[in-house]
Amino acid sequence: MMEFTDDQLLRYSRHIILPEVGGRGQEKILKAKVVIIGAGGLGCPVGYYLTAAGVGTLGLVDNDTVEMSNLQRQIAHSVNTIGMPKVESAARTFQALNPDVNVVQIQQRISKDNILDLIKDYDIVVDGSDNFPTRYLVNDACVMAGKPLVSGAILRFEGQVTTIVPGEGPCYRCLFEDPPPPGLVPSCQEAGVLGVLPGVIGGLQATEVLKLILGKGEVLKGQLLIYDALKTSFRKVKVPKNPSCAICGENPTITELADYDQGYCAMP
C-alpha cells in the first residue's frame, strides 16, 4: 500500500476511516482517471467533488467560454473568469481546492472524430453535456470503448442520472432509442433550470463515480434515477437491456460513430 504524506492523511482522513474506503480505497481514488464531458452546470459540481475526493487525473472537455448567464449554476466559474475558456476557469478552481489533482484541460468540441481518442486514457467517463447529439455520441463511444459512463441530465426542476456499464447493463439507447427531433426539444426561452438542480444531480454523479472506483455499493446500472426538485422526490425506474439495441444489442446496426444534427438549444 502507498505511503500517504502528512497532508494527504489530514486531507483524506474522513475517507480513510470509512470501512468501505480505507487506505486502499483512497489509493484507488488517487490513481483513478476520470474524464468529464462539459464544464458547465453538471461538470462543475462533479469535478469539484471529485477533486476534493482526490481523483488522480481529471480530464475536462468543453469548448465554451464563461458567460455571466452561467454563474447562476456553474459553480466553478466566477465573475473573474468571464470570457475565459470554461476548462481553464474550472481547472483553476479545482487546483486551488486540491493541488494533488492533475486537471487536464481539453478545449475541444466533441465529435465522432475525436471522442474515442479523448476518452481512451481514462477509466470512467462522466456526461454533463447539454445536448442530445453529444449525449448519444458519448454513449455510443463508451459502449464501443467499453468505458463505464455516468450520465446526467437536467431541465427546469427535474434531473436524471444513470450509470452505464457496457457489457453488464443497458446503455442510453436501450433507454431512449434515438435522439428526439430538434422540434421537440424546448427552445432556449422555455428551457429554464433551477440553479441548484445541477448541484444535486452532479453530486449524485460524483457519488456514482466514486463507487465505481471503489467497487463498493450498488451503482445505477439498469436504473434511471429521476429527481423532482419541486416535489422533493426521487424515483427509480428499471431499465432493461434492449436485445435489439442499435449499439449494444445482439446485432448492432451502429458500427461506427456519427455526429447528429446540432440544431439543439445549449442549456446546462
Partner 1 sequence: MTADKAAETREARMEEIMPDKRINIKGLVCPYTFVKAKLAVEAMETGQVLEVLLDYEEAARSIPKSMEDHGQKVLKVEKINETDWVLQIRKEKE
Question: Half-sphere exposure of residue 9, counting CA atoms within 13 Å on the CB side?
Answer: 5
Judged by beta carbon, residue 20 or residue 168, the one nearer partner 1 is 20
Q: How far is CA 168 from CA 14, 34, 143, 219, 220, in A?
A: 32, 20, 11, 12, 12
31 binds partner 1 (CB under 8 A): no
182 binds partner 1 (CB under 8 A): no
24 binds partner 1 (CB under 8 A): yes
Q: How far is CA 76 from CA 42, 146, 221, 224, in A?
A: 10, 30, 28, 27
Best CA proximity match to 28, nearest among 58, 60, 56:
56
258 binds partner 1 (CB under 8 A): no
216 binds partner 1 (CB under 8 A): no
What is the phi-psi region of residue 10: left when phi exceeds 0, alpha when psi lies from -120 to 50, beta otherwise?
A: alpha
Judged by beta carbon, residue 10 or residue 68, the one nearer partner 1 is 10
Judged by beta carbon, residue 25 or residue 152, the one nearer partner 1 is 25
Q: CA dihedral defined by 110, 112, 114, 116, rounded to 10 degrees?
A: 110
What burial letters (b/e) apply to 26-45, b meaning 16+ CB within 10 Å? bbbbbebbbbbbbbbbbbbb
Neighbour tally for 127: CB within 10 Å: 26
Shortest Å, Cβ 31 to partner 1: 16
User: Residue 40 carries which side chain, given as an amino acid letter?
Assistant: G
Judged by beta carbon, residue 4 or residue 157, the one nearer partner 1 is 4
Taking the C-alpha atoms of residue 119 and residue 109, their distance in angstroms, rounded to an integer, is: 13
146 binds partner 1 (CB under 8 A): no
Site for partner 1 in 4-23 (CB under 8 A): 4, 9-10, 13-14, 16-17, 19, 22-23
Total residues at interface with partner 1 (CB under 8 A): 12
Judged by beta carbon, residue 11 or residue 147, the one nearer partner 1 is 11
Judged by beta carbon, residue 192 or residue 215, the one nearer partner 1 is 215
Judged by beta carbon, residue 20 or residue 177, the one nearer partner 1 is 20
Shortest Å, Cβ 138 to partner 1: 36
215 binds partner 1 (CB under 8 A): no
236 binds partner 1 (CB under 8 A): no
Task: Please name the residues in contact with 190: beta carbons below 8 A apart, sequence gap of 6 or more.
Answer: none
155 binds partner 1 (CB under 8 A): no
Which residues contact partner 1 (rule: CB under 8 A)? 1, 4, 9-10, 13-14, 16-17, 19, 22-24
